[in-house]
Structure 1
Amino acid sequence: MDRENAGKAWMTWRGLQAEDEPKLRELDRACKQADGDEWVSNLVGDALAAMQEHVDNTFCAAGEEILMAVGWIQLLPSSENEQQVILGGRVHPLYRRRGLGTLLLEWLENRANLVSGYHRIRRLIIRNEALTADAHSIYVQSGFTPIFAENMMVCSLEHSPPADRLPETYRLVNWTAETAPLFYRAYCDAFYDRAASFDPPEKWVAEYEGDTDFLPQSSWLAISEDNRPVAFVTAGQMGKMAWISQTGVVPQLRGQGVAFGLLAHALRHFQQVGYPEVGLHVNVNNPAAIRRFYELGFRRRLTRARYEKTVL
């Protein structure tokens, strides 16, 4: 359907129906093709779950063969004084910049306030895994505040990764039952100046080992000559893409090539295994890390963000 005909298509606003699932999948495909492909969001599952909770928690602009826009709300566990609500929604790329996004967000806010009860504080939350400039403008103009943003950066392995290596005084080991506690120690030492608290080691290790996408043989730990774990990379798989879940280096060794050499080794390993590309998330407020990843061959593919609005 071309843009000229799309603008004249018949449209009706209504709640979602079970038979809309194929149209939801097509909407998801079109949005990811236009905004950038990612594996975190679940448009189809989230929208259908909201419909099953209550059909009036969903709202869509439907044509005869297409969903032009869809929105839904999800109530999170609440307290006596506060209700948190996730607002989700997408507008088909062919129908953007026509006011549908603003109308959709207005409806979502009204529905969230209604089901939350006006006697409680409402915290409205938007999570967007492929943020566009237009979406950001709509959120901010509607009174939402950006809470955090991360770039998804991707490194193609079509060409050889950097040949940089760790200094000879360090050795590398994989994740095993024996080395997992050392990974945890490196994690805590790397982020002690940035994190307010840490999960217990058993929980941290169990979350990795319970993840079916975790790649222990592609997760690496750098150990110094005095047997101290000083840097780490934990890896997983997202579709056909290798994924760097976390990476860190102790503060004393930042900027000394240890993290760079460790990541270069991880990239070469991913290439040898046969992955076509590697991805990761990095906070937009961490320019030093972004610069390091850029030097390794990573490029920004999209930005994910979270916005919130408190209604008293």
Structure 2
Amino acid sequence: MKNKIVVVGSTNMDMVVKTGHIPKPGETVLGGTFFMNPGGKGANQAVAVARLGGDVTFISKIGNDIFGKQSTKIFDDEGVDIGGIYAEVNSPSGIALITVDDKGENSIVVAPGANAFLNADNVQSAFDKYPQASVLLVQLEIPMETVEAAINYARSKSITVILNPAPMNKAVAKFLDKIDIITPNAHEAEALSNHTITDVDSAIVAAKKIQQQGVKTVIITLGEEGAILLTEDEVHHISTPKVEAIDSTAAGDVFNGAFAVALSEGKSLKNAVTFACRAAAIAVTKMGAQSSIPYRNEILLTYFD
């Protein structure tokens, strides 16, 4: 049985340049390939949930412009419930400028646009439509007070809260004790724990330092090294399939969406993280954000060593 997943977060249009290397300050790099791709951490995660078989509602705010209209149509086509999408007449839709190098690494600048106007009242009104929700997935590309409002509402309804603390904002520390599961990458985990991560063992130490701040379960994603899962009772290092990475832009979002789906289906935390690692491994073999998100049958049919 799968339960309703509510994703609260951002919607952007990604403008991507694929080039040999990411420019240093003051440097101009000539050459490369340009394309536009729908993105935003919230939108990516919502689409990931839908493609991977989850029942998902997305709460977000778009501009009353062509990008906003395109995004809404994409969500509807993907099977994302758009009952929580609001239009902001006084701001354009969010955009992200992304440079991807020939190793698949990326550099991203985000102009939040309408995302900055998603507020607590929007979240409350949308949530009230879905009393059957069992999982909340939220990130930090929207105002912190909106993130906190979503978390507080979910807790009041005994909804499992998953926080993906990206992009990192240390203000999140004030409500870590209200979160069930947190899913930072290594850089975010370092900021939360004040502990340098150089390998799996140091990641475990960082996870324990984050857990001491009140969150029950800590999952640190480590790229090609997989993920660390720390619960109140156990710790696991879960490996990821070895693939040739092309673009890591939405890998974290795919991981979080896949993890939420597996959790909503009643899988164990360890099995949910394993499923998420496999989904993210497929995503990095493709260019773009939402264009790289796999469908469930791709995970089931793909052979991994």
TM-score band by shorter chain is under 0.3
TM-score (norm 2): 0.25
Please state which structure has a larger fraction of its residues in strand.
1
Structure of larger gyration radius: 1
TM-score (norm 1): 0.24
